Chain A
Amino acid sequence: MHTSVPEPLLAVAALQSGYGKIRVLHGIDFQVEAGEVVALLGPNGAGKSTMLRALSGLLPVDAGYVRFGGRDITNISPREAARAGLVHVIEGHRVFTQISVTDNLLLAGYDLSRGERTARIEEALSFFPEIAAKRHEYGGALSGGQQQMLTVAQGLVRRPRLLMLDEPSAGLSPVLVDRVLDVIRQLRKQGTAVLLVEQLLEKALATADRVYGLVQGHIVLEAPTSESDLPRRLEQAYFGHQALTP
């Protein structure tokens, strides 16, 4: 169904990566179209975070390539990736606790001009009125959910073409999870593509257009969320009875 599109926004082929001697990803083929929301699902230790890190340059790519917006970005620095519009919001709501909310956002726009920075911050905060009200407080004074929103807002400051979110719902109350997912839907309306790593299957299926299943460093499943028996197929893939290839 994607053959009519000349080149997807993000195209990954035969990607291998890992930590030192430990190979985590064993040849990943993966695509994200412009404006599409894709969920990356998989059990713990499957290599979901590793994959995001390899894409954004936080981990070295050992083999294969990553193309973004028609350009080879294999092994580029996280800074370059962010400039190109590939923004990675890492897991664990790691905001900087010693500086204010505004400062956290200012840092996300480090490379921008001063005026541009201020404008972008307001734009990012407009998605999250609850932290806009706390903009002068220290990052450490926010609740876990607010910190998570702040990291997403940090990602938005860059006006990404593809926003990669690593478990944005971890540790959040259901209400807050819906808030974050709402923002993802808003972004899609604006034409921003989102790659979402998510533990909550139902929520992921409700938000995404397409899912990939990652198990033990292999993509074992790729399907549009419109397919009917996805939960059952995922379960089978997770528990490893037969590896289901798309």
Chain B
Amino acid sequence: MLGSILASGLAAGAIYALVGVTYNTMFSTSRVMSFTSGQLAMLGGVFGSMFMLKLGLPVIAGFVLTLVGCAIIGIITEFVAVRPVLKNLDQHLYVLSTLALALMIQQVAAIKWGTEPQPFPKLIGWGSGVWDEKFWLPVVACAATVIGLEYLYRRTLVGRAFLAIAEDNFAARALGLPERNLRIASYALAGVIGGIAGFSGGELLLAFFANGALLNFYGFVPVAIGGLGNNRGAIIGGIALGLFQQAANFLVGGIFSSVAVFTLFIVVLLAAPRGLFGSATARRV
């Protein structure tokens, strides 16, 4: 049983962590938490299944097209739901605009794709049991994404520009950085990360429209635990959440595992509203 808990916990945790990183990537350049994060991961599964099973494309082509599709949805998020409300960030209109867009994505998926979970193809075919690819694939994808992001942020000028905007948007603008283009780029990047989450987790979660809302919540929990914009916190929080949830699932049953996750979420938020790895609170007056 321990093997099952570890395998499914790590797999689910990796997916939650990636959705958390999706939230953070959008947040870093815009200070906006977007309800489309979970939907992007849902679309990763749906697009993957559509391209490979429905249209019969090879895995590589399906993967690339899925990421392109998700990146486009990410960019649409920036144009439709984020840019128009950035002027009055303190009114928190982004909660409503991104919720609206998320609901639209979900509804279109439900109607055009169907309301039943649909299968996701086997990608490689290595391993079985607890070593089945549906368990290790999300973990590998998560690790690859972390390495990729680390390279981006530490080795490329664009990545450092992302860091600069995340730290001090005003100073970055004053320096003449193309803030708007970088924001669009970060939303495209977020789309790609969300797509990777959904694609790599496709065999575990299937291609199912309702995954969006679920991943919105389970992907947000690590962000809440780790602190907004803190990718390391999101990864640790995501993996911990996945293991906690699967352990509760195996030990006390599915229903109580979601109650436990919810309680954990509320308790952490009330005890540390900025997250366990978060920074100090801003001044109010």
Contacts and interface: CB of A to CB of B under 8 A. Distances in A.
The answer to A–B direct touch (Cβ < 8 A) is yes
Contact of B163 (A81, A83, A89, A96): A96
A110 B177 contact: yes
B76 to A, nearest CB: 24
Interface stretch (A99-107, A193-201, A217-225): A99-107
Contact of B178 (A79, A81, A103): A79
Given A103-B160, A107-B161, A56 B178 contact: no
Given A106-B157, A107-B157, A110-B157, A98 B175 contact: no
B176 A96 contact: no
Interface residues of B, number: 17
Interface in A61-98: 78-79, 81-83, 87-90, 94-98
A78 B176 contact: yes
A161 interface: no
A96 B157 contact: no
A142 interface: no
Contact of A94 (B161, B171, B177): B171
Contacts of A103: 160
Contacts of B256: none
Contact of B164 (A87, A90, A99, A111): A99
Contacts of A132: none
A108 interface: yes
Contacts of A79: 173, 176-179
B174 interface: yes
B150 interface: no
Contacts of A96: 160, 163-164, 167-168, 171-172
A100 B203 CA distance: 42
17 contacts: A58-B173, A58-B174, A78-B173, A78-B175, A78-B176, A79-B173, A79-B177, A90-B170, A94-B168, A96-B160, A96-B164, A96-B171, A96-B172, A99-B163, A103-B160, A107-B177, A110-B178
Interface of B: 157, 160-161, 163-164, 167-168, 170-179
Interface of A: 56, 58, 78-79, 81-83, 87-90, 94-99, 103, 106-108, 110-111, 154, 158
